[in-house]
Homo-oligomer: A and B are copies of this chain.
Amino acid sequence: MSPNKELIGASTRLLILSVLAREANYGYAIIRAINQEGEGLFVWQEGTVYPILHKLEKEGLVRTQWQEADTGRKRKYYYITATGRGALATGTEDWAGFHKMITALGEGNHG
């Protein structure tokens, strides 16, 4: 398996981990946060994000805790773990390297 697949998929995970590194949050709000941040560039669906959250939990990058909101509704809060912060750091580096290469190629075309 090449690391490429992971790198591409990493963008979704990275986005989620970034949001959680700022502060713990629950799924429904994470989805809204990411999509707001995207500013119309993309819209992630629930069917996309929830499974990723479950996977992140299984991998130990986040942990969860059910909490009751003031409204009385139950929310599953996601907290980033130390492992998760590590993954965010290395993932961001990989992403930067990938981006650098793409722009380098692009600059070669009109430089």
- Copies of this subunit: 2
The reply to whether A37 and B88 form a contact with Cβ atoms under 8 Å apart is no
The reply to whether A101 and B44 form a contact with Cβ atoms under 8 Å apart is no
In the complex, whether A2 has a CB less than 8 A from a CB of chain B is yes
Q: Please give, as numbers and ranges, the residues of chain B lying within 8 Å of A2 by CB-CB distance.
A: 42-45
Question: Please, what's the 1-or-0 string for A30-46, where 1 marks a CB less than 8 Å from any CB in chain B?
Answer: 00000001110111110
Q: Please give, as numbers and ranges, the residues of chain B lying within 8 Å of A99 by CB-CB distance.
A: 95, 99
Question: Please, what's the 1-or-0 string for A63-98, where 1 marks a CB less than 8 Å from any CB in chain B?
Answer: 000000000000000000000000010001011111
Q: Please give, as numbers and ranges, the residues of chain B lying within 8 Å of A45 by CB-CB distance.
A: 2
Q: Which residue of B lies closest to A5 (CB)?
A: B42
Q: What residues of chain A have their CB less than 8 Å away from a CB belonging to chain B?
A: 2-4, 7-8, 11, 14-15, 18-19, 21-22, 37-39, 41-45, 88, 92, 94-99, 101-106, 108-109
